Amino acid sequence: MARAKRNPPGVGHNHRELTDEERGALVTSFTTKLITAGKEVDRLDSELKSARKVVNGIFKLVAKETGYTRKEFEAEVIANLDKSEEELIAAEQRRRRLQADAGLRSGEQLDLIERINDTVDDAIAAEAAGYRAGRRADDRIPPDHVDTIFHQDWLRGWERGQEVNAKAEAMAYEILKRPAPGELAADDEDDIEEEEDPADPETIRRKANALKDSGWTEPSADETNFGAAA
pLDDT at 215: 59
pLDDT at 153: 92
What's the whole-number mean pLDDT along residues 136-152? 91
pLDDT at 115: 47
Inform me whether the pLDDT recorded for 8 exceeds 60.
no
Q: Within 13 Å and on the Cβ side, how many CA atoms surround 156?
A: 11
User: Of 59, 73, 64, which is closest to residue 181 (Cα–Cα)?
Assistant: 64
pLDDT at 47: 95
Instruction: Tell whether 139 is covered by a domain.
Output: yes
Residues of the domain holding 162: 121-181
Instruction: Tell whether 156 is covered by a domain.
Output: yes
Cα 142 from Cα 127, distance rounded (Å)? 10
pTM for this entry: 0.51
Decide which of 14 and 43 is more confident.
43
pLDDT, tens digit, for every residue of 164-191?
889 988 888 888 788 877 776 655 555 5
Instruction: Tell whether 99 is covered by a domain.
Output: no
Instruction: Tell whether 55 is covered by a domain.
Output: no
User: Of 178, 200, 199, 196, which is closest to residue 187 (Cα–Cα)?
Assistant: 178
Mean pLDDT of the chain: 77
Instruction: Tell whether 146 is covered by a domain.
Output: yes
Helix (H) or strand (E) holding 61: helix 20-66
What's the whole-number mean pLDDT along residues 206-226? 60
Instruction: Tell whether 127 is covered by a domain.
Output: yes
Inform me whether the pLDDT recorded for 9 exceeds 50.
yes
pLDDT at 118: 38
pLDDT at 71: 93
Instruction: Tell whether 73 is covered by a domain.
Output: no
Instruction: Tell whether 60 is covered by a domain.
Output: no
**Based on the structure, what is the number of domains in the chain?**
1
Q: Which segment of 42-51, 52-61, 98-107, 187-196 scores lowest on mean pLDDT? A: 187-196
User: Of 190, 194, 216, which is closest to residue 203 (Cα–Cα)?
Assistant: 194
